[in-house]
Chain A
Amino acid sequence: MGSSSKVLLVGATSLIVGVYAISLKNVQTTSMQTAQSRVDRAQNERLVDGALILALDKVKNTGGNVNTTETRRAFGADITLTISSANGSKANLTLTITKGGITQTVKATVEKQSSHGHRWGYRSMHRSDWRLVNAFVKHG
């Protein structure tokens, strides 16, 4: 084999190895994105819970009969919370949570429940007598 052929062969080998290396890196990037999406799911859930607690605080502190809208910066996110249909015993919440360019919209209902058979679970939220009755999260 002549020297020019050897040079050509080495060049071709390097090219092939380079192409495969880039392809492997691309696949690994996709793998990391998949793993990250799982982490993001858990993080987003915590973020929503934190924002709902803030909103519950607001309802409790205003006696549950004040309709208002305010914007807060918390948990590294921009949170706009709107309290509507507040009548002292029930209120509707609309939260817009934006973090890292991703926005989640939450619609929730809180009620004043001094005492009854309420189930206590991992994500049960309350502030004083005000409890979260339901919450629906829309991503994007």
Chain B
Amino acid sequence: MVTVMLGLTVTMNNALYETTQQVNAAKTVATVGNIVDTDLNQVVAPGFSTSNPDRMVFAADTSMGGGSAAVTITYYTALDGATGLYLLYRTVNSAQTLCISKNLVSASFQYFDTKGNVTTTPTSVDGIRVRLVAQVSGVTQGFSTTLNDFKVFPTNLN
């Protein structure tokens, strides 16, 4: 009976641990997605200057139309050789680069023109798809990754 009790406790502990890790990873990648989403919704003319799968650079008005000069926001990914995971960086103008995520199995940006076709031409970008796949640390089987995949069509690009 003691064995059964211990086995039950271990099983439930594992379930709780894995579920918690999955939820934490999902919440973290959702927060990162919200940061990217907020920035992308502030895109203003001249819009994008770089639109690569691993890097995007765009002008954004972070003053909510308050008249401040647009800033240049850069997002780019880099592979961390030590972990084999991708890092996602965010830079505003020439300020210090901030790493906003470091547990990504993959991170990519895809761009669409006004007709919905995939484009790589910065001046043609009307919509952006952001795809972030984060690793769930401590979980080796089952749901070992979590996905945040969303599209943004900034109003001020039109």
| Interface positions of A (Cβ within 8 A of B) | 1, 6, 9, 12-13, 16-17, 20-21, 23-24, 27-28, 30-31, 34, 37-38, 41, 49, 107-109, 118-125, 132, 134-138
Q: A20-B16, A24-B16, A123-B155 are in contact. Are A12 and B5 (CB under 8 A)?
A: yes
Closest residue of chain B to A139 (Cβ to Cβ) is: B38
Q: Are A137 and B41 in contact (CB under 8 A)?
A: yes
Q: Are B8 and A13 in contact (CB under 8 A)?
A: yes
- Interface 1/0 per residue, B128-158 and A, CB below 8 Å: 0000000000000000000010100111111
Q: Are A31 and B26 in contact (CB under 8 A)?
A: yes
**In B12-26, which residues have CB < 8 Å from any A CB?**
12-13, 15-16, 19-20, 22-23, 26
Q: Are A24 and B30 in contact (CB under 8 A)?
A: no
Q: Are A17 and B12 in contact (CB under 8 A)?
A: yes
Shortest Cβ gap from B25 to chain A (Å)? 10
Top 9 A-B pairs, shortest CB-CB distance: A124-B158, A20-B12, A121-B158, A121-B126, A136-B64, A136-B65, A122-B153, A121-B114, A31-B23
Shortest Cβ gap from B106 to chain A (Å)? 19
Closest residue of chain B to A12 (Cβ to Cβ) is: B5
Q: Give the docked Cα–Cα distance between A95 and B20 (Å).
A: 39
**In B35-79, which residues have CB < 8 Å from any A CB?**
37, 41-42, 44, 61, 64-65
Q: A27-B23, A34-B30, A121-B127 are in contact. Are A135 and B155 (CB under 8 A)?
A: yes
| Chain A residues near B148 (CB-CB < 8 A) | 38
B: interface residue count bin: 35 or more
Q: Are B64 and A107 in contact (CB under 8 A)?
A: yes
Q: Give the docked Cα–Cα distance between A9 and B6 (Å).
A: 11
The one of B15, B27, B42, B150 in contact with A136, judged by C-beta atoms closer than 8 angstroms, is B42
Q: A16-B8, A24-B16, A134-B156 are in contact. Are A34 and B27 (CB under 8 A)?
A: yes
Q: Are A138 and B158 in contact (CB under 8 A)?
A: no
Q: Give the docked Cα–Cα distance between A42 and B66 (Å).
A: 25
- 14 A-B residue pairs with Cβ-Cβ distance under 8 Å, sorted by A, are A12-B5, A13-B5, A16-B8, A27-B23, A34-B27, A38-B33, A38-B148, A41-B37, A41-B150, A122-B126, A122-B153, A124-B158, A136-B42, A138-B64
